[in-house]
Structure 1
Amino acid sequence: MEKKKPMRRCVGCGESREKSMLIRVIRDTDGEIHLDSTGRANGRGAYVCRDIKCLEKAIKKKGLERSLKVSVPEDTLEQLKKELDVNG
Protein backbone atom coordinates (compact mmCIF):
# COMPACT_ATOMS: atom_id res chain seq x y z
CA MET A 1 0.00 0.00 0.00
CA GLU A 2 1.32 3.43 -0.96
CA LYS A 3 2.06 5.89 1.83
CA LYS A 4 -0.40 8.80 1.94
CA LYS A 5 1.18 12.14 1.05
CA PRO A 6 0.44 15.06 3.40
CA MET A 7 -1.82 17.72 1.88
CA ARG A 8 -1.82 21.42 2.75
CA ARG A 9 -3.97 24.34 1.62
CA CYS A 10 -2.41 27.39 -0.03
CA VAL A 11 -3.43 30.59 1.82
CA GLY A 12 -3.35 32.43 -1.53
CA CYS A 13 -5.45 30.43 -4.00
CA GLY A 14 -7.09 28.13 -1.44
CA GLU A 15 -6.25 24.94 -3.34
CA SER A 16 -5.11 21.82 -1.50
CA ARG A 17 -1.85 20.40 -2.82
CA GLU A 18 0.85 18.01 -1.68
CA LYS A 19 2.99 19.56 1.03
CA SER A 20 6.10 19.17 -1.17
CA MET A 21 4.53 21.39 -3.86
CA LEU A 22 4.12 24.32 -1.46
CA ILE A 23 6.46 26.67 0.36
CA ARG A 24 6.06 27.15 4.10
CA VAL A 25 6.15 30.65 5.55
CA ILE A 26 6.73 30.67 9.30
CA ARG A 27 6.59 33.00 12.26
CA ASP A 28 9.36 31.82 14.55
CA THR A 29 9.55 32.10 18.33
CA ASP A 30 11.13 35.58 18.00
CA GLY A 31 8.13 36.74 15.95
CA GLU A 32 10.15 37.02 12.74
CA ILE A 33 8.57 35.89 9.47
CA HIS A 34 10.52 34.07 6.77
CA LEU A 35 10.41 31.21 4.28
CA ASP A 36 11.08 27.77 5.70
CA SER A 37 12.90 25.87 2.97
CA THR A 38 13.15 22.67 5.04
CA GLY A 39 9.45 22.60 6.00
CA ARG A 40 10.50 21.51 9.49
CA ALA A 41 11.45 24.71 11.33
CA ASN A 42 9.77 25.46 14.65
CA GLY A 43 7.07 28.08 14.57
CA ARG A 44 3.61 28.78 13.26
CA GLY A 45 3.37 28.00 9.56
CA ALA A 46 1.30 28.89 6.53
CA TYR A 47 1.65 27.34 3.09
CA VAL A 48 1.78 29.14 -0.25
CA CYS A 49 2.16 27.77 -3.81
CA ARG A 50 5.56 28.26 -5.42
CA ASP A 51 4.08 31.10 -7.45
CA ILE A 52 4.52 34.82 -6.85
CA LYS A 53 0.87 35.37 -7.82
CA CYS A 54 -0.30 33.13 -4.97
CA LEU A 55 1.90 34.98 -2.50
CA GLU A 56 0.50 38.31 -3.70
CA LYS A 57 -3.04 36.92 -3.40
CA ALA A 58 -2.29 35.70 0.14
CA ILE A 59 -1.02 39.17 1.04
CA LYS A 60 -4.00 40.93 -0.55
CA LYS A 61 -6.57 38.65 1.14
CA LYS A 62 -4.59 38.80 4.42
CA GLY A 63 -4.37 35.00 4.38
CA LEU A 64 -0.80 35.05 5.68
CA GLU A 65 -1.69 37.39 8.53
CA ARG A 66 -4.68 35.24 9.47
CA SER A 67 -2.69 32.00 9.40
CA LEU A 68 0.35 33.35 11.22
CA LYS A 69 -1.84 35.32 13.68
CA VAL A 70 0.30 38.45 13.35
CA SER A 71 0.36 41.49 11.08
CA VAL A 72 3.12 41.19 8.49
CA PRO A 73 5.28 44.32 7.96
CA GLU A 74 5.63 45.62 4.39
CA ASP A 75 9.43 45.14 4.25
CA THR A 76 9.00 41.50 5.35
CA LEU A 77 6.51 40.95 2.52
CA GLU A 78 8.99 42.37 0.00
CA GLN A 79 11.69 40.07 1.41
CA LEU A 80 9.37 37.05 1.04
CA LYS A 81 8.69 38.00 -2.60
CA LYS A 82 12.45 38.20 -3.30
CA GLU A 83 13.09 34.85 -1.62
CA LEU A 84 10.25 33.24 -3.57
CA ASP A 85 11.69 34.61 -6.84
CA VAL A 86 15.07 33.06 -6.00
CA ASN A 87 13.73 29.71 -4.74
CA GLY A 88 10.66 29.33 -6.90
Structure 2
Amino acid sequence: MKDKKALLRIVKTPEGDILLDATGKKSGRGAYVCPDPECLKKARKSRALERAFDTAIPAEVYDALEGQMGAL
Protein backbone atom coordinates (compact mmCIF):
# COMPACT_ATOMS: atom_id res chain seq x y z
CA MET A 1 0.00 0.00 0.00
CA LYS A 2 1.31 3.45 -0.89
CA ASP A 3 1.58 6.43 1.40
CA LYS A 4 -1.48 8.69 1.15
CA LYS A 5 0.71 11.70 0.34
CA ALA A 6 2.03 9.90 -2.75
CA LEU A 7 -1.49 9.51 -4.15
CA LEU A 8 -3.95 11.88 -5.81
CA ARG A 9 -7.36 12.45 -4.25
CA ILE A 10 -10.47 12.41 -6.38
CA VAL A 11 -13.51 13.83 -4.63
CA LYS A 12 -17.27 13.67 -5.14
CA THR A 13 -18.57 17.00 -3.85
CA PRO A 14 -21.87 17.34 -1.99
CA GLU A 15 -23.27 18.76 -5.25
CA GLY A 16 -22.35 15.51 -7.04
CA ASP A 17 -19.41 16.81 -9.08
CA ILE A 18 -16.36 14.57 -9.40
CA LEU A 19 -13.07 16.49 -9.38
CA LEU A 20 -9.36 16.05 -8.86
CA ASP A 21 -8.51 17.47 -5.43
CA ALA A 22 -4.89 18.62 -5.60
CA THR A 23 -4.98 20.11 -2.08
CA GLY A 24 -6.71 17.16 -0.41
CA LYS A 25 -8.97 19.56 1.48
CA LYS A 26 -12.16 19.76 -0.59
CA SER A 27 -15.28 18.59 1.18
CA GLY A 28 -16.95 15.44 0.00
CA ARG A 29 -16.25 11.75 -0.35
CA GLY A 30 -12.70 11.04 -1.49
CA ALA A 31 -10.95 8.21 -3.27
CA TYR A 32 -7.24 7.92 -3.94
CA VAL A 33 -5.35 6.84 -7.07
CA CYS A 34 -1.66 6.87 -7.92
CA PRO A 35 -0.54 9.87 -10.03
CA ASP A 36 0.07 7.67 -13.10
CA PRO A 37 -2.65 7.97 -15.78
CA GLU A 38 -2.48 4.17 -16.13
CA CYS A 39 -3.86 3.87 -12.59
CA LEU A 40 -6.86 5.97 -13.57
CA LYS A 41 -7.39 3.78 -16.64
CA LYS A 42 -7.36 0.67 -14.43
CA ALA A 43 -9.81 2.30 -12.02
CA ARG A 44 -12.04 3.20 -14.97
CA LYS A 45 -11.97 -0.33 -16.36
CA SER A 46 -12.67 -1.95 -12.99
CA ARG A 47 -15.27 0.72 -12.10
CA ALA A 48 -13.49 1.25 -8.78
CA LEU A 49 -14.39 4.95 -8.57
CA GLU A 50 -18.02 4.21 -9.39
CA ARG A 51 -18.13 1.75 -6.50
CA ALA A 52 -16.34 4.18 -4.17
CA PHE A 53 -18.72 7.02 -4.99
CA ASP A 54 -21.80 4.81 -5.46
CA THR A 55 -22.69 6.57 -8.71
CA ALA A 56 -22.24 6.20 -12.46
CA ILE A 57 -19.38 8.29 -13.84
CA PRO A 58 -19.68 9.47 -17.46
CA ALA A 59 -16.76 9.03 -19.86
CA GLU A 60 -16.26 12.80 -20.14
CA VAL A 61 -15.56 13.00 -16.39
CA TYR A 62 -12.82 10.37 -16.72
CA ASP A 63 -11.42 12.28 -19.71
CA ALA A 64 -11.39 15.51 -17.69
CA LEU A 65 -9.64 13.77 -14.78
CA GLU A 66 -6.99 12.38 -17.15
CA GLY A 67 -6.44 15.88 -18.54
CA GLN A 68 -6.09 17.33 -15.06
CA MET A 69 -3.63 14.60 -14.08
CA GLY A 70 -1.54 15.37 -17.15
CA ALA A 71 -1.40 19.04 -16.18
CA LEU A 72 0.13 18.27 -12.76
- The two structures have a TM-score, normalised by structure 1, of 0.79
- Aligned-CA RMSD value: 0.6
| Aligned residue among 9, 12, 29 for 1:44 | 29
Structure 2 partner of 1:69? 54
Query: Can you give the 5+ residue segments of structure 2 that lack an aligned partner in the other structure?
Result: none
Query: Can you give the 5+ residue segments of structure 1 that lack an aligned partner in the other structure?
Result: 1-15
> Displacement of 1:75 after TM fit?
0.7
How many angstroms apart in 2 are the aligned matches of 1:69 and 1:38?
23
Task: Decide which structure has greater helix share.
Answer: 2
Is structure 2 residue 23 aligned with structure 1 residue 18? no
How many angstroms apart in 1 are the aligned matches of 2:9 and 2:54?
15
> Displacement of 1:86 after TM fit?
0.8
Task: Decide which structure has greater strand share.
Answer: 1
> Displacement of 1:85 after TM fit?
0.7
Structure 1, residues 26-78: CA drift from partner, whole Å, max 9, x if none?
Answer: 10011000000111111011100000000000000000101111111111110
How many angstroms apart in 2 are the aligned matches of 1:69 and 1:25?
14
* Structure 1 runs (4+) greater than 2 angstroms displaced: none
Identity percentage of aligned residues: 38
Structure 2 partner of 1:11? none
Structure 1 partner of 2:18? 33
Equivalences, count: 72
